[in-house]
């Protein structure tokens, strides 16, 4: 395979360019275990700092920014692209899996129409910890390799903030918006080239018959299934993305572009974590619907390749695939091994109780461990006792009794599917405030705690 792969695409798809100078870089964090996992040849030393602050290339790779479009809050924007980041390296690990390193916050590019091309320390810490927390929760996501900040460069947001560069690793950063870019420019050649590259590197089983309609339908099917699984995982863990624009949707089904994201505290299904989302388009409970809408946008870009009615039919499988994936996740969260018709009601009733008493979403589920056996969490501390709760607990115990599972199997299921620790906004905020004073120890402490979200590590947050 030839790297860099972007050279397979027409020149108009990208721009080779260098980063703007980033003065006085210092390490905030480096993810050593990820570096090992993806076999990237960079370490936490002086040379690594130069590379990850974008002062020198990694193994001669010529950095570049890529063009993409996207539907932002439902409105098509043809001119997006890497406006504040560069594709910095591509490599294969020992198994032949391709990986990309993207440096975010490297300054203006050919695609930054407004803005300084910079990322601030605050949001970079949120992405760093948020994406690694998601990975530890076994949720598909881009990963965070490195975080450096400048001792000198400040950038203006609502206030003046320290600039940072995040090293992000993904199998690929190709977004739905890359397909939309070629499609809406009527660039059939670019669209075909994007498909060919993507299949060759990431969907090799589809490559040989890549021009056949059935292959494209199968590819769309993969997208639908992947996204159904991803959104089910988000809903089950209580993750709100906040900006589900099509330019933030990964073609690998990864959680991508962490901005105003959040994890639920109190269970409020209509929670909007993005303060600029005045209509609540990306409210927590709207995410499945929006994913479906985004898949329709992607399918639209396939109409040269397969009949529209067949494409529509594939996308229309999303609601059912999502429903199944969500039920599966929620059954596990209740410690249920088998599947019974009454499970959907059991789950809905439990969620209605949590919504009613505004219970903490994660810890109420975690406290079910205390119902099943010995555990420091006491359910009554999170869900006030009432007749409704008692009735639900009776129904729950009865349902558990119908499962051919042992008590220890149920205990393990509950423990492995209900995190004790999630990245709550106030925790991220504490780490940010210290980091802005030059103390990165809280970033490190949270990073390590969030690597083991299912194990009690002292106090509950």
Q: Which of 116, 187, 247, 349 is catalytic?
A: 247
Q: Which residues contact 71 (CB under 8 A, 6 or more apart)?
A: 77, 180, 245, 246, 247, 294, 297
Helix-strand-coil split of the chain, %, nearest 5: 45, 15, 40
Is residue 236 within 8 Å of residue 326, measured between CB atoms? yes
Closest CB to Mg ion among residues 135, 243: 243
124 binds Mg ion (CB under 5 A): no
Closest CB to ligand AMP among residues 71, 118: 118
Closest CB to ligand AMP among residues 29, 118: 118
- Cα(210)–Cα(206) distance, integer angstroms: 6
Please report how close the Cβ of residue 177 comes to ligand AMP at its closest, in angstroms: 9
Task: Find the part of the chain contacting Mg ion (CB under 5 A) among 82-90, 118-126, 149-157, 242-250.
Answer: 242-250
Please report how close the Cβ of residue 417 comes to Mg ion at its closest, in angstroms: 30
Interacting residues with ligand AMP between 244 and 263 (CB under 6 A): 248, 257, 259
Residue 57 binds: one of ligand AMP, Mg ion, none (C-beta under 5 to 8 A by kind):
none
Residue 360 binds: one of Mg ion, ligand AMP, none (C-beta under 5 to 8 A by kind):
none
Helix extents (H) in 79-212: 121-136, 176-184, 188-202, 204-207
List Cβ<8 Å contacts ≥24 apart for 340-343: 340/399, 340/402, 342/399, 343/399
Closest CB to ligand AMP among residues 110, 400: 110
Quote the DSSP letter at residue 115.
Answer: S
Residue 415 binds: one of ligand AMP, Mg ion, none (C-beta under 5 to 8 A by kind):
none
Phi and psi at residue 86, to the nearest 5°: -130, 145
Residue 115 binds: one of Mg ion, ligand AMP, none (C-beta under 5 to 8 A by kind):
ligand AMP
User: Known catalytic residue: 285?
Assistant: no
Please report how close the Cβ of residue 118 comes to ligand AMP at its closest, in angstroms: 6
Beta bridge partners of 329: none
116 binds ligand AMP (CB under 6 A): yes
- Cα(203)–Cα(179) distance, integer angstroms: 16
Task: Find the part of the chain contacting Mg ion (CB under 5 A) among 84-92, 141-149, 224-232, 255-263.
Answer: 255-263
288 binds ligand AMP (CB under 6 A): no
205: exposed, middle or buried (C-beta count within 10 Å: 0-12, 13-18, 19+)? exposed
Residue selected from 132, 254, 257, 360 as contacting Mg ion according to rule CB under 5 A: 257
Interacting residues with ligand AMP between 68 and 87 (CB under 6 A): 80-84
Q: How far is CA 234 from the centre of its chain?
A: 9
Is residue 27 within 8 Å of residue 148, measured between CB atoms? yes
Q: Report helix, strand or coil for 120.
A: strand
Residue selected from 53, 65, 248, 301 as contacting Mg ion according to rule CB under 5 A: 248
- Give residue for tokens 């809905």: 348
Size of the chain in residues: 461
Please report how close the Cβ of residue 257 comes to Mg ion at its closest, in angstroms: 4
Interacting residues with ligand AMP between 84 and 113 (CB under 6 A): 84, 112
- Active-site positions? 247
Positions in the binding site for Mg ion (CB under 5 A)? 248, 257
Positions in the binding site for ligand AMP (CB under 6 A)? 80-84, 112, 115-118, 243, 248, 257, 259
């Amino acid at each position: 395979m030839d790297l860099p792969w972007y050279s397979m695409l027409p020149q108009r798809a990208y721009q080779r360019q260098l980063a703007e100078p980033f003065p006085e870089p210092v390490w905030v964090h480096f993810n050593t275990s990820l570096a090992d996992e993806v076999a990237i040849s960079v370490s936490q030393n002086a040379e690594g700092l130069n590379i990850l602050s974008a002062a020198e290339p990694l193994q001669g790779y010529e950095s570049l920014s890529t063009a993409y479009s996207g539907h932002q809050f439902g409105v098509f924007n043809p001119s997006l692209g890497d406006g504040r980041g560069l594709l910095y390296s591509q490599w294969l690990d020992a198994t032949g899996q391709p990986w990309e390193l993207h440096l975010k916050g490297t300054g203006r590019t050919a695609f930054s129409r407004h803005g300084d091309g910079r990322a601030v320390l605050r949001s970079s810490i949120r992405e760093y910890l948020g994406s690694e927390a998601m990975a530890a929760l076994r949720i598909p996501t881009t990963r965070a390799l490195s975080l450096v900040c400048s001792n000198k460069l400040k950038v203006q947001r609502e206030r003046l903030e320290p600039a940072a560069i995040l090293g992000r690793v993904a199998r690929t950063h190709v977004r739905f918006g890359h397909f939309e870019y070629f499609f809406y420019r009527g660039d059939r050649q670019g669209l075909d080239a994007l498909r060919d590259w993507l299949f060759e590197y990431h969907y090799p089983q589809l490559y040989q018959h890549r021009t056949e309609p059935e292959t494209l339908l199968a590819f769309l099917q993969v997208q639908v299934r992947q996204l159904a699984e991803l959104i089910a995982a988000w809903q089950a863990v209580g993750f709100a993305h906040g900006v589900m624009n099509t330019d933030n949707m990964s073609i690998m089904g990864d959680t991508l572009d962490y901005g105003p994201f959040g994890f639920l505290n109190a269970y409020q299904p209509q929670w909007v974590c993005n303060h600029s989302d005045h209509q609540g388009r990306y409210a927590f409970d709207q995410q499945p619907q929006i994913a479906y809408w985004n898949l329709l946008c992607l399918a639209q870009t396939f109409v040269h390749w397969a009949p529209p009615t067949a494409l529509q039919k594939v996308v229309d499988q999303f609601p059912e695939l999502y429903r199944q994936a969500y039920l599966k996740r929620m059954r596990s969260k209740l410690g249920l091994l088998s599947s019974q018709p009454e499970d959907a009601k059991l789950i809905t009733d439990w969620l209605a109780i949590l919504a009613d008493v505004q219970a903490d979403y994660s810890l109420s589920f975690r406290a079910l461990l205390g119902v099943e056996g010995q555990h420091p969490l006491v359910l009554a501390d999170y869900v006030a006792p009432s007749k409704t709760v008692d009735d639900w607990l009776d129904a729950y115990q009865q349902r558990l009794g119908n499962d051919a599972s042992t008590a220890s199997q149920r205990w393990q299921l509950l423990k492995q599917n209900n995190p004790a620790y999630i990245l709550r906004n106030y925790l991220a905020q504490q780490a940010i405030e210290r980091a802005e004073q030059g103390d990165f120890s809280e970033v490190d402490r949270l990073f390590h705690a969030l690597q083991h979200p299912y194990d009690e590590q002292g106090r509950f947050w």
